[in-house]
Structure 1
């Protein structure tokens, strides 16, 4: 299954949404998906796993996850103790008036993407502050008193400032789930990220991992929820989306850079996954 492009806020004049203290059973969670906006997930209680990019993280009380735009992810709540969390979504437009050359409110997301570390473990005063600010945004959104949208932006900027001041732990714990992952899986996921532009596939990757193709395929899907082909394809589309809006390269060059054999196949695949053509995407999201 290809990851779903979930539209939440992009056509909203006030690009903000909040799903407050929600508890989901495993069968109600979305499959692999990504958004064009920013997402923040804070865990109040419960257990689970969170697949983000190419890594599995444990989900526990006090954990906070930062999901930059176009980051493939999927939550796996524990069946007996499902996670209760708040998911916050906002678009880049909400941040355009904030910050200056020395400070960016979305710096924490930029660091998460650069380091491929999407989890923060909160405790003490920082955790209390995050919970309070999420509660205030929920209150403003529900009651919609005069100036509520401005109040939400103020609380959101305060929250991001709090997170930017709170450094990532030097060695984030990936938890028991990651510890149980086969060594070759831990090595092959970053290898895929580093070789998306080349001709990689099941045969090549299984040889690299020194396991049989059937075993590789079975274990890979068990841990990622996707088959090898769909996983690689999804990663390439995410790479293409970023290049479409951040470079001046033409679409043919981008298709080649992202590992697509032909421009026509790139167009067809891009539209099937995102709902629009590469040209339309570039016009819509190019700043």
Structure 2
């Protein structure tokens, strides 16, 4: 099983990472990944497909994607037109920490909206794109020069960017719907996996519901999503476990059972492999 989490320096004084104008080829793309940090992706050029949760997009220049934390996503660059994109990863807690008080403002509204509506792409006008590219360039310059006050400068630039994106999703402005048509059997399978996360679930059962052989179903599932069925199911179970660990007082054993793991050792191994932490330590950090 490939690692499905992106490593971040959790104790860094500046929990922000920027990859500026990187070109992704199909063979060099990261495995499907899952992390708690938030992610903004801006496409400069090239094409490819993007799988986020249950949603599929055809990526193109000018697209902006908002990836909430703890969300499975996978980019599949086109083999003949590799994607060039800028990506910023950051801790939502860090960005929001300076906005506490009576008139507190949520810089993360755009991510909350993306998660709620399951619509992860924003429409940008040409002037919006130029402004966004300028912000990425300024952040890159600050991170490269590391002059006194650069952490504060990067935080202010990131908060300004988020403020601008929040206004794009204010009443009257809408996220762009998915533009990728996928077969009904695949959508049904993704929904079935979500509904039955706590139950026994097998590849033959999923394939039978789609009226396919297990091998054919598995091949098509990976072709459309870029993900292996078994890895996808386990990752979804770990995502659910993380939510329960953060938001409930249930024991680790109760959460493991509720998420479909038949033994605690197996749950601990998968949680550590995907989340990069033990369940107990993750719960304490929340």
Q: TM-score, normalised by structure 2?
A: 0.90
> 2:15 maps to what in 1?
15
> 1:221 maps to what in 2?
222
Q: Give the C-alpha shift of residue 170 in structure 1.
A: 4.9
> 2:60 maps to what in 1?
60
Cα gap change, 1:157/1:59 in structure 2, threshold over 3 Å: closer, same or farther?
Answer: same
Q: Give the C-alpha shift of residue 132 in structure 1.
A: 2.0
Cα gap change, 1:58/1:261 in structure 2, threshold over 3 Å: closer, same or farther?
Answer: same
**1:6 and 1:191 mapped to 2: Cα distance?**
27
Residues 91-102 of structure 1: matches in 2 within 5 Å?
Answer: 91=91, 92-98=93-99
> 1:246 maps to what in 2?
247
Q: Give the C-alpha shift of residue 68 in structure 1.
A: 1.5
**2:95 and 2:240 mapped to 1: Cα distance?**
24
Between stretches 208-217 and 78-87, larger displacement belongs to 208-217
**2:65 and 2:165 mapped to 1: Cα distance?**
11
Q: Give the C-alpha shift of residue 160 in structure 1.
A: 0.4
> 1:174 maps to what in 2?
178
> 1:74 maps to what in 2?
74
**2:216 and 2:196 mapped to 1: Cα distance?**
21
> 1:151 maps to what in 2?
153
Contact map agreement 2:119 2:177 (CA 8 A) in 1: no
* Superposition RMSD in Å: 2.1
Contact map agreement 2:95 2:107 (CA 8 A) in 1: no
Contact map agreement 1:42 1:62 (CA 8 A) in 2: yes
> 1:209 maps to what in 2?
210
Unpaired segments ≥5 residues, structure 1: none
Contact map agreement 2:168 2:174 (CA 8 A) in 1: no
Contact map agreement 1:9 1:90 (CA 8 A) in 2: no
Q: Give the C-alpha shift of residue 95 in structure 1.
A: 2.1
**2:232 and 2:222 mapped to 1: Cα distance?**
9
Q: Deviations over 1:162-192 (max 9, x none)?
A: 11111286573433xx32x322112321332
Matched, 1:235 2:239: no
Cα gap change, 1:165/1:228 in structure 2, threshold over 3 Å: closer, same or farther?
Answer: same
4+ residue segments displaced more than 6 Å = none
Between stretches 209-218 and 13-22, larger displacement belongs to 209-218
Q: Give the C-alpha shift of residue 116 in structure 1.
A: 2.0
Unpaired segments ≥5 residues, structure 2: none
**1:102 and 1:147 mapped to 2: Cα distance?**
24
